[in-house]
Amino acid sequence: MDLSGSRRRRTHDHRHVVTEYAGVCAARGWQGGALTVPVRRFKDALQSGEFVTTVEYNPPKGTDVAALLDNAKSLVGKVQGVNVTDNTAAILRAGSMSICRLLFEMGHDPVMQMTCRDRNRLAIQSDLLSAHILGIRNLLCLTGDYPTVGDHKEAKPVYDLDSIDVMQIIKSLNEGKDMAGHKLHGTTDLYVGAAVTPEMDPPGPMLAKFEAKVNAGTRFFQTQAFYDVEKFKTFMNSVRKFPVKVLAGILVLRSAKMAEFMNANIPGVEVPEAIIAELRAVGDEKALDVGVQIAVRMIKAVRDHCDGVHIMAIKAVDRLPEILKKAELA
């Protein structure tokens, strides 16, 4: 087989994209041993009381990272953290860790999402150690959607552990031991987060799980999408007694159909009929413009009641700079 490539046209060759953002290890003074991460914008900003902004990316379903990296480049210095999802909705995509590393080299402080669906305890611990080695310091622990909702419905779920178990593992790794109690040659320094659904009704079970996650080592929470500001304020009043930070999840709606789908399929999320009517009134072509306006409105409404916002612009990341500017976040 001829591998010289002299006459072969490369399809989807993105090495030039990666090269543009490479070499940061050397620039940051890595000389062997453990990688030192001099700037922890996300953690430091939260702990200092600064109002924090994070955004979210889904890795590509494939290897073409050019669009994602170009968009992320426009946000360097404008956000304190960038989340990368982990096969969200059980749909196959590139791994969170690889994208987090590229974002780290670009100058972002990535937040790596990790689900329990696809890994046993060995794989989870190995990935956590690997993430630390690659300079990733922020983790969002999630249980993960069941495979039957995704695009590989015959995949076998693992669920060896749940998200609270993973938080406890991270606490142990940070202290220098693995889950079995064996000593590590080099500890981790991971900042742990979890998800919460603020509009869950009744709220009792949600609040009990919130407290359990705090006790397991969670230091920050990102909420699922919500659209009732008063319910969110009530939720925040209930959790302010805990020593954790809370980022309000702001999901950009693209259409009335998207809002209706969420109401029918996502437990604990309820888009009010008034918002759906607002989207429907302008038609599909202009619905995203209205969705951006709603997101900006929500950010301004919750700003005084939480520690930051986490903006999820699914299939609309090109609107993130506009949202940040209009919400006076950048």
Q: What is the DSSP string of 232-275?
A: HHHHHHHHTTSS-EEEEEEEPP--HHHHHHHHHHSTT----HHH
CATH number attached to the domain at 34-326:
3.20.20.220
Taking CA atoms, 259 is separated from 60, 144, 179, 186, 205, in Å, by 24, 22, 41, 46, 25
Strand pairing partners for 245?
220
Q: With 0.85 as the threshold, say if the pTM is over it.
A: yes
Tokens of 330: 């950048």
Q: Is the peptide bond before 202 cis (omega within 30 degrees of 0)?
A: yes
pLDDT at 36: 58
pLDDT at 13: 40
pLDDT at 12: 39
pLDDT digit string (tens) for 206-260?
A: 999 999 999 999 999 999 999 999 999 999 999 999 999 999 999 999 999 999 9
Which residue, among 96, 50, 56, has the nearest Cα to 72 in the 3D structure?
56
Average pLDDT of 116-138? 97
Angle between helices 273-282 and 284-302 (to 10 degrees): 140
DSSP 186: S
Which residue, among 93, 101, 132, has the nearest Cα to 18 in the 3D structure?
101
pLDDT digit string (tens) for 148-200?
A: 999 999 999 999 999 999 999 999 999 999 999 999 999 999 999 999 999 99
**Pair 253, 314: CB distance under 8 Å:** no
Give the start-to-end residue ranges of the domains of the chain. Answer: 34-326
Tokens of 306: 């939480």
Beta-carbon neighbour count of residue 313 at 10 Å? 23
- Helix H segments across 76-184? 96-106, 121-133, 163-174
Tokens 């959790």 correspond to 239
Q: In Å, how far from its chain's centre is CA 163?
A: 14
Taking CA atoms, 188 is separated from 95, 119, 142, 277, 300, in Å, by 20, 19, 19, 49, 36
- Helix H segments across 75-161? 96-106, 121-133
Q: State the pairing for strand pair 191-196/52-57.
A: unpaired
As a whole number of angstroms, the distance between CA 166 and CA 144 comes to 12
pLDDT digit string (tens) for 287-330?
A: 999 999 999 999 999 999 999 999 999 999 999 999 999 999 98
As a whole number of angstroms, the distance between CA 14 and CA 9 comes to 13
